[in-house]
Every structure is written in C-alpha cells, then in structure tokens.
Amino acid sequence: MPKGTYRNKEISLSDKEVGELRQLARSGVRNIDLARQFGIPACSAHAISSGRIRKHPRKTLEERFLAKVQKTDSCWLWTASIRNYGYGQIGNRPGPPIPAHRVSYELYKGPIPAGIFVLHCCDNPPCVNPDHLFLGTQKDNIRDAAEKGRTARGERKKNAKLTRQGVSEMRAARLNGASLKSLAIRYGVCFQTCSDVCRGKTWKF
Ligand SMILES: [Zn+2]
C-alpha cells in the first residue's frame, strides 16, 4: 500500500518518517538539513516539525473504498456515489473520481492495462466484489451487455453465447482434459466454435 501521505501534496512521508523528522527537529537539527535528509522542501520540513501539517495520515484508498462497501454473500454493494450506468465512483483528488469497480480490481486483482475495461460477471453495475470482475475489451463489453440483455436483442451476435469469463473457464477445463464435445454441450456452442476457442483461433485476449 502507498505510504501515508500528509496534507501537503508535495510530500509523501510515512508515519515513521514524520516521527523521526520531529524527533530530529526537537534535538536541534535545522529544517534545511531535515529537508535534505527527507528529500522534501524546507518549508515542508518546517511545517511538519512545527506540527502545522496535521498529525494523522490521510486514509488509504483501500480504507476509503472499504468504508463504502456493503458486503453480501455474493455481491459487494457500493453505498456511496453512483454515476453513469449505475457504476459506483470514488473521489480521487486532485484528479476526477474513478469508477469504484475499477478501484476494486486494481486493489485486489492487479493493474488494468490501458484501454481495457473491467466487466461484471454478475451483471450488477454497483457491485465491486473483485471476484465478480474480469478484464475485457470494449468489444467484449458490448457483447457482454448484449448477452445479458442490457442492449437491444437485435444486437445479439452469433458468438454471444460465450462470455470472456466462459471462454476462460472453457480453456481451463480443456487444459484439465475435458473433451471438446463435452465442452461444446456444456457451453451450448457447436463443436467447431469450441475447438476454435480452445485453440485460441477466436476470442484472442
Ligand atoms: Zn457482483
């Protein structure tokens, strides 16, 4: 997790470092020397040593995130601000707010590559349960929405029987020895589609 940050946006010191800085200041070390030692501006060193900057570190993103989540047996419901398409959002000053499900993904599963979407396998936009989130492209997003009936039925494509999640599961099952025929039946697709998916000819991601 990131270090506790203090209110001055120029500096980022942990609690321990702030404690050390204050102790050194009390023992007579000059602010200019403290600034050099901690790699911060002299005015910030003065602000910290004199106690002008607040004592308590800002809450981490994860703490702020969890404070707004109501966990249920399946979905984690976002209880704070909800914006476009029912997705939750969380403040991220000085930048704009960020979608809560993306924050969840990054906190618990890992970085989101540029241009990639975080999709819900539970089809519940305010849900932020990391286990219900997976990565996909805009194309997957549209296909996913079509499949789950969020867009006009006419937009259903012939491949809409599969989701990214389904494809991942299918490939994993295939690697574990499941036959193409059994997978085709399980996922409601034809043998050829199943074969193409498992060989990576289609659904490249
Ligand atoms: Zn969910």
Task: Convert the pLDDT of each residue in 155-174 to its tens digit.
Answer: 344 445 778 888 888 888 88
What mean pLDDT is predicted for residues 56-60? Answer: 69
Q: Taking the model in full, what pTM does it have? A: 0.48
pLDDT exceeds cutoff 60 at 151: no
**134 CA distance to ligand 1 centroid (A)?**
11
Query: Where do we find the tokens 């570190």?
Result: 57
**47 CA distance to ligand 1 centroid (A)?**
45
Where along the chain do its domains lie? 1-58, 61-136, 164-199
Helices and strands: H and E segment counts in the chain: 9, 6
Strand intervals (E) in the chain: 69-71, 76-78, 89-92, 95-99, 117-120, 133-136
Q: How many Å is the maximal CA-CA distance in the chain?
A: 78
**99 CA distance to ligand 1 centroid (A)?**
15
**98 CA distance to ligand 1 centroid (A)?**
18
**72 CA distance to ligand 1 centroid (A)?**
9
**84 CA distance to ligand 1 centroid (A)?**
17
The hierarchical CATH code for the domain 1-58 is 1.10.10
What mean pLDDT is predicted for residues 100-116? Answer: 93
